[in-house]
A and B are shown apart, each in its own frame.
Chain A
Amino acid sequence: MLAPYLPILLLFALATGFAVFSVGIAPFTGPRRYNKAKLDFYECGIEPTPQPMGPSRFPVKYYLTAMLFIVFDIEIIFLYPYAVANKALGLFGLVEIILFVATVFVAYAYVWRRGGLDWD
Chain B
Amino acid sequence: MITAHGIQSYAWLLVAIPAASALILLTLGRAADKWGHLLGALVPVGLFVYAVFLFFSVKGQSNRKVDLHMFSWIPVARFRVDAGLLLDPLALVFVLLITGVGSLIHIYAVGYMAHDPGRRRFFGYFNLFVAAMLLLVLADNYLAVYVGWEGVGLASYLLIGYYYTRPSAATAGNKAFFANRVGDVGLSIAIMLMFAYFGTTSFAGVFGHFGHGGNATTGVATAIALMLLLGACGKSGQFPLQTWLPDAMEGPTPVSALIHAATMVTAGVYLIARSAPVFDATSAARTVVTIVGAITLLYGCINGAGQDDLKRVLANSTVSQIGYMFLAVGLGPGVYAIGIVHLLGHGFFKAALFLSAGSVMHAMNDRIDMRRFGGLWRVMPITFFVFVCGYLAIIGFPFATGFWTKDKIIEAAFDKGGTSGYLLGIIALVGAGLTAFYMTRALVMTFLGKRRWEPDVHPHECGPVMWLPMAVLAVLSLVGGWLLIFGGGVQEWLTPSVGPSVEAGVHTVSKPVLTAITLVVVALGIAGAWVAFGTRTIPEEQPQNVTVVTRASRRNLYADAFNEAVLMRPGQWFSRALVFFDNRGVDGVVNGLSASFGGGSSRFRRLQSGFVRSYALSMLGGTVAVIAVLLAVRFQ
> Would A and B touch once assembled, by the CB under 8 A criterion?
no
Q: CB within 8 Å of B: which residues of A? A: none
